[in-house]
Chain A
Amino acid sequence: MNSTSAIITFLAYTVGVLVLAWFSHRVLTKKKFLGEYFLGSRGLGVLTLTLTYGATAASAGSFAGFPALIYRHGWVLALWIASYMVVPLCGMGLLGKRLNQVARKSGAITLPDVLRDRFRSGVPALVTTMLLVFLLSFYLIPQFKLGAIVLNELLGDNPTFHDAVAWLGNLLQRSSVLPADVDPEYLVCLLLFTAVVVVYTTYGGFRAVVWTDVMQGIVMIVGVLVLLVLALARTGGLDRVTRQMAEMTPPRTGSVVFHSSLAVDSPIRIASQIWFDTSVGADVYDFGDAAEQGRARLFCLNESVVIGQGQTDSNAAKVVQITTPEEIARVRKGWLTGSPPPLPDGITASVVALKDYAYGAGEEGVYISAPGPAPAETLGFLPIGLALSFFFYWALSATGQPASMVRMMAFNSSRTLRWSLVWLTVYFGLIYFPLVVIFCCARVILPGMDETADSIMPAIAFELSSWAKMPWLAGLLIAAPFAAAMSTVDSIMLMISSSIVRDVYQRELAPDATERSIKRLSYACMLTVGIVVFLGAVRPPDFLQFVIVFAGGGMSVSFLIPVLLAVYWPRCNTPGVVASMLGGLAAYLALYLYGYAIYEPDRPYRLLQMDPLIWGFAASLILGVVVSLITAPPAPDLVRKYFGEIAPAGDTT
């Protein structure tokens, strides 16, 4: 990539974000601190509500994990994401107006605030605060890592960036505080990402988050639409793409070790995405397939490897063998000799392990049908039960995210909600279905990336902007996932901070706290959250996408049903809402832990093929209703305040 254009893109973007934070801070100084800092004085208009909702909902996963899945499993992802057809309707229509009204009645500015006043009890608020801090922290760390990874792709080979990396590398070697085995490139990007997010979120508060969300939302949709046009133009149309996908058979995946005949004098790096075949000295793992004996098999290296100084072998690296004849012929056609460029002098490759997909191996048509090819699951990628679960998952999970609920508390009128629903429908329609089309095209344009599919977004951005002879465009296209990560992170940081400052400090510890002390604590809290998450992301957990899905689902099962009961059901009481929150989360966690015990760490137990989220919702609803009914009803004046006069008394359900 043209690193200069990347730097310019990033700098322009960063300056834009900081300018918006500065303007937000100016507004902040003229209004009441708490309400403005954490809720923007409940003043979101149509444009801001639409784009802040859209940008917050579209996390980095939408531009990293989702494209990777489309690339690996094909058209079935249209079914996987299908419930986004009703996400705007559910997200805004199910809860928006009523939650906003209830929050206004009580003057609430956070989710725990709403529950505290609705039930006139601190217990639901404290439980909510604890769950929020716990689950949001899980959610933040992978987002920071994804932001840093995207930034790393963006900065590429820029010399200034490499100088900074070299300086930090030396510092790490000399320092005993920072871990020496952390990749300095990653650490520099993480530091940059953290610095920008913490500064603008801390300085500008909710309004800065919303305004930057607007900018990020625009960057995202422009990026997607430009990619769509270029991808279709590059492939010759969707019809052609689908026909080529129909002929595809899933690849084989495995690992490869590179050998040098002599110990090397200086480290030799073999870049990711190079191709090799048996004609260039590859010693291929015997797959036992007689039909393939004697045929040159084509492999794509899916991660870079190094043969260290004084060594003869590299570590094992991921490799993909493409198996579709048409694809092999097309890749070979790109080389003058019909064979891939040779490996460095004296280097040979040994494919030491190779396996077929558990579902779809050798079969045509699997990329255009359900359940889609799968490397490990024998039932395929998306069995019908799981597809049903995802129809629940996206619509209800998006509605139940605390960050979405806070936005529902922040708009200024019913009219704003109505028009935002209209525009959000258009916005999501122009992002999610086109993403399926774009990355189906990517499967045809860039074969052999199945084991490194998380980087398909930047890879296709480079490829298409290079094909269009507009290298500067890559900067804009890669800014889209970066913006997605940023817009999610800022909202979550603000929520954690507001939970601590408003719901713990002001409500429980210091009800008479002055605005000045609250302001100082809010800033300190934001900085602390940023620093703690940065430290957590220096060594992030594995299975990032899994952690994101786990934490996102956990928040939904903890809050969606309780909040629905709280705002719509007059009979709901404190024990009921607490049981609903804890019961939903307990059922959800139990299925994850059981899955952890009997499968791999990144796979939950799916009772009747249903995602744990469905069982979490069921437990939350049943417990919320039953516990409310068997315990004392809420005080009549409390019911009257939020629901009006409901007579006769027994008819409150």
Chain B
Amino acid sequence: MADTDAFNKLELELRRGVVVLATLSQLRTPRYGYELRQALADKGMPIEEGTLYPLLRRLETQGLLKSEWKIEDGPPRRYYALNADGRKLLKRLTASWQGMNDAMGRLLDEE
């Protein structure tokens, strides 16, 4: 039981660390919240809606995303996409992530 609790907490920490990068990676083209959540889930990174939707607003407030209301086949939806700063940040975070991923790969392969 304690092991499961510890695993759940630590896995949550791991996931929290990659949520922003995963989200930014899927906003190279404009997407609205529900569509983005589906895209992430389809690629194996489900993010709870209660976490993802507020995150989009926070990233926009930080000046990394641009957004606009659009009416396409359905109700009005707010579409989010990376702006110039967001694209630069995604590039740097991607390089960082790949470096860490390689290092972790080497560390875990030692076993």
A and B bound? no
Interface residues of A (CB under 8 A from B): none
Interface residues of B (CB under 8 A from A): none
